[in-house]
Amino acid sequence: EVSTDDPETAFCTLANREELNPEEDSIHHCLYQFTRNETLTETNKLLCDVCTQRHCGPKNNIKSEKKYVYTNAKKQMLISLAPPILTLHLKRFQQAGFNLQKVNRHIKFPEVIDLAPFCTAKCKNVAEGNTKVLYSLYGVVEHSGTMRSGHYTAYVKMRAMNNHLSDLVLRGQSQALETEPVKGQWFHISDTHVQPVSVSKVLSSQAYLLFYERLL
């Protein structure tokens, strides 16, 4: 669906993304690339209903004449509704000839992440004037092995109940909270084995799935 928006704000974000300068092999760089502004030209031109109607007249004539009008366009994917729980799924495979190959390099990820540079300026559940949309890490899934076989383990933070998160899920309400990571003890879980670990151990893991809960 193509929606008409004010050209001045259509590609604006809650926070200035151009000041990010994200480090390569980081989750910020992944998000920056995923939400970058793209130009659609040549074979990627956009089918424009308005231009087609101008050229062909009323809609009922379009199909019979088959004179569709395509135009150059700009495209950008931004977050329009900040979720209570943010789940990030990293693509850990790449094409190698006719085969798929696992990507094993480490992707840096923070304890607290700000989604504001990746949210539309009119993000629905962010209070007016807010320039931060903060999330705290509480879970990581890691995969060891190859594309054919391997083992999944998880890191989970045991923490106090987040009443703010409940309000967000049930009523969609948002309010200012602490901007520090939610306090708690991290555990590494592998089948029936559970052991406490440090946050540095968690942040050095080869993340496959990342789970964040909304702070602000």
Tell me: pLDDT of 169 over 50: yes
Distance CA 182, CA 70 (A): 49
| Helices (H) then strands (E): counts for the chain | 5, 13
At 36, the amino acid letter reads R
Residue 97 in contact with residue 111, Cβ under 8 Å?
no
**Polymer length in residues for the chain:** 216
In the chain, what's the furthest Cα-to-Cα distance? 69
Q: Write down the residue that tokens 């052991």 correspond to.
A: 195
State the pLDDT at residue 138. Answer: 96
Alpha helices for the chain (secondary structure H): 27-34, 49-56, 59-65, 163-171, 199-203
pLDDT in tens, 87-137: 999 988 887 788 888 888 899 999 999 999 999 988 888 888 888 999 999
d(CA 61, CA 54): 11
Tally Cβ neighbours within 10 Å of residue 163: 9
Give the 3-state secondary structure of residue 147: coil
Which domains does the chain show, CATH number per domain? 79-214 (3.90.70.10)
End-to-end CA distance of the chain: 30
Residue 9 has pLDDT above 80, yes or no: no
Amino acid 49: pLDDT: 79
How many other CB atoms are there within 10 angstroms of residue 117's CB atom?
Answer: 22
Q: Mean of the per-residue pLDDT values for the chain?
A: 84
- Per residue in 38-95, pLDDT (tens digit) is 899 998 888 887 788 777 766 555 455 557 888 888 888 999 999 999 999 998 888 7
Name the least confident of 18-27, 106-115, 160-169. 160-169
CA distance 171 to 211: 21
